[in-house]
């Protein structure tokens, strides 16, 4: 008889729940009690499944990147005949879809965590991991713009490094605005203005 049988523990489902707790509260603001409550497990079970809080956060961040950030970046940097400005617009709008989704915590988990990192409440290992992720994202954008310049889609004198920094500033700023309650439409207007003012993108 299976009527009272307890549902099997779904590790992927639990990881998604943990990710959302960290996404909402940040690393320092998330307690083990909040995690065990959200995952409906006790501390020994949490440790057995994911390790300690630091390890769980690292796994949750990887899950966030895989689910939300990486697909959007691949769409931007992959081969395409679409004009760069249109791809950048799609990229920023994709970020906005994530950070303004009413079914998820507001803002970008990576950006929020990066802004929190470096303090005494965040382990050095996590801070270093977030810095490495940020550098990888910056390098991907920088390499994209260099490639566009080499293939003639951008003028030879295009300041690639400056544009990369500008795009990163926009993505971070969009998260702050989303957290402050700006609507999706308002964020899209900001993104559209940012794309329209990029030098050399036609």
The reported pLDDT for the residue numbered 58 is 96
Radius of gyration of the chain (CA): 19
Contacts of 139 (CB under 8 A, 6+ apart): none
SS3 content of the chain, % helix, strand, coil (to 5): 70, 0, 30
Domains, the chain, in order of start with CATH, read 60-196 (1.10.357.10)
Q: Are 77 and 71 in contact (CB under 8 A)?
A: no
pLDDT at position 3, please?
Answer: 52
Which residues have a Cβ under 8 Å from the Cβ of 61 and sit 6 or more positions away? Answer: 19, 22, 109, 110, 113, 129, 130, 133
Distances (CA, A) of 198 to 89, 188, 202: 11, 16, 8
What's the maximum distance between 2 C-alpha atoms anywhere in the chain? Answer: 74
pLDDT at 1 exceeding the cut of 80: no
Give the alpha-carbon dihedral of 72, 73, 74, 79, to 10 degrees. 110
Predicted structure pTM score: 0.88
Q: What is the rounded CA–CA span in Å between residue 57 and residue 4?
A: 33
Question: How long a stretch of residues is the chain?
Answer: 202
pLDDT digits (tens, 9 = 90+) for 129-165: 999 999 999 999 999 999 999 988 888 999 999 999 9
Q: At what angle do helices 11-25 and 32-39 cross, to 10 degrees?
A: 140
* DSSP H or E stretch at residue 192: helix 184-196
The pLDDT-based confidence of 8 (bands split at 50, 70, 90) is low
């Amino acid at each position: 008889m299976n009527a009272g049988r307890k549902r099997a523990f779904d590790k992927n489902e639990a990881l998604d729940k943990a990710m959302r707790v960290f996404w909402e509260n940040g690393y320092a603001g998330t307690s083990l009690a909040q995690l065990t409550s959200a995952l409906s497990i006790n501390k020994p079970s949490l440790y057995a499944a994911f390790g300690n809080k630091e390890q769980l956060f690292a796994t949750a961040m990887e899950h966030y990147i895989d689910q939300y950030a990486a697909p959007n970046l691949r769409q931007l940097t992959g081969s395409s005949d679409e004009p760069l400005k249109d791809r950048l617009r799609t990229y920023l709008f994709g970020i906005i879809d994530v950070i303004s989704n009413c079914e998820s915590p507001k803002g970008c988990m990576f950006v929020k965590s990066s802004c929190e990192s470096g303090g005494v409440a965040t382990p050095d290992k996590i801070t270093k991991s977030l810095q490495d992720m940020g550098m990888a994202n910056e390098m991907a954008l920088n390499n994209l713009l260099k490639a566009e310049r080499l293939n003639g889609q951008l003028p030879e004198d295009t300041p690639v490094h400056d544009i990369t920094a500008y795009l990163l500033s926009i993505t971070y700023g969009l998260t702050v605005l989303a957290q402050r309650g700006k609507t999706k439409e308002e964020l899209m207007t900001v993104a559209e203005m940012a794309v329209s003012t990029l030098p050399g993108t036609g």
